[in-house]
Amino acid sequence: MSAVEITNLSKTFRDFFGRRRVKALDGLSLSVEPGEVFGLLGPNGSGKSTTFKIAVGLLRASDGSVTIQGAKPGTLSARKATGFLPEDSTLLPFLTAHETLKLHGALAGLSRRDAATKSEELLERLDLKHAAKRRVKGFSKGMQRRLGIASVLIADPDVFILDEPTSGLDPLGAVGVKELIAELRGKGKAILISSHLLGELENVCDRVAFLNKGKLLKQGTLEELLREHEVHQLRVSPPTPEAVQALEALAREKGLQVLSSGAPMRSLEAFYLSVLGDRDNA
């Protein structure tokens, strides 16, 4: 059984007078398996948040269906199985970070002691330990996002539905969240995440789907979608000019076209991490 099964999902929003206005989703189908990270990619307004809200029972579908571990959204078993991070984290401003997590722990049915212990672990894990006793009101956007993620984690659900989890985070924070998502996958959790930023999903998703105007344009594993089978890239070191020239000559002799040859560029993210990756220097 899939952790999340979305079948032919459609949603039309109506205006005040009941007239059909926006077709936010149009026949969307996808599934997420345990131990899989599935990324929903698409521009603003493509229907990502609408999909997630239907999947957690906050909105009703106009057509089609969603099941969470076989159960309908909004039922007790679906709610217990799912951890949802909304697009805008809704945190109570007058609670401290520690109190926020203890509250979410209590709501998830943990004992006082377990909630307190887990809360401390999560504050440490999400780099919020220094702010444990501070009120959420004064938190930066990134800190609020990390606390939002921690409050989803405290219930230890099987299915995570995370709407733009890295929005508002600096690159280091985003990498931290991506590592966390990879850890959850390792524990067999099913994770459905969305983003409108490509780089956010690249290193973390097993499969991605592209959504535009509520329609699914393409889906597949990153391997299927991104691997360029008609090209071969060889990285060698050190790049001594004679050896490189000889390699290029050999390639031509074998009838290959040399498409590129030279020192590769690191990604800006990789470089940023090499400069600021050490948290003590950050």
Which residues of the shown chain bind ligand ADP in the complex (CB under 6 A)?
13, 22, 24, 42, 44-50
State which residue, 21 or 112, has the beta carbon closest to ligand ADP: 21
Cα 70 to Cα 3, 140, 170: the distances in Å are: 8, 38, 37
- Compare residues 49 and 82 and give the one whose CB is closer to Mg ion: 49
The closest alpha carbon to 31, from 199, 209, 162, belongs to 209
Interface pattern 48-67 for Mg ion (x via CB under 5 A): xx------------------
Q: Which residues contact 221 (CB under 8 A, 6 or more apart)?
A: 206, 207
- How many C-beta atoms lie closer than 10 Å to residue 252's C-beta? 11
Q: Is 213 helix (H, G, I), strand (E, B) or coil?
A: coil
Cβ closer to ligand ADP: 46 or 119? 46
Give whichever of 50 and 67 is closer to ligand ADP, judged by the CB atom: 50
Q: Interaction with Mg ion in 68-87: which residues (CB under 5 A)? A: 87
Per partner kind, with CB cut-offs from 5 to 8 A, the member of ligand ADP, Mg ion, none near residue 46 is: ligand ADP
Distance CA 224, CA 170 (A): 30
Q: Which one of Mg ion, ligand ADP, none interacts with residue 13, CB within 5 to 8 A by kind?
A: ligand ADP
Residue 140 C-beta: closest distance to Mg ion, Å: 21
Find how far residue 129's CA is from the centre of its chain.
23
Provide, rounded to whole angstroms, the least separation between the CB of residue 163 and ligand ADP.
7
Furthest-apart CA pair in the chain: how many Å?
75
Question: Which residues contact Mg ion by CB under 5 A?
Answer: 48-49, 87
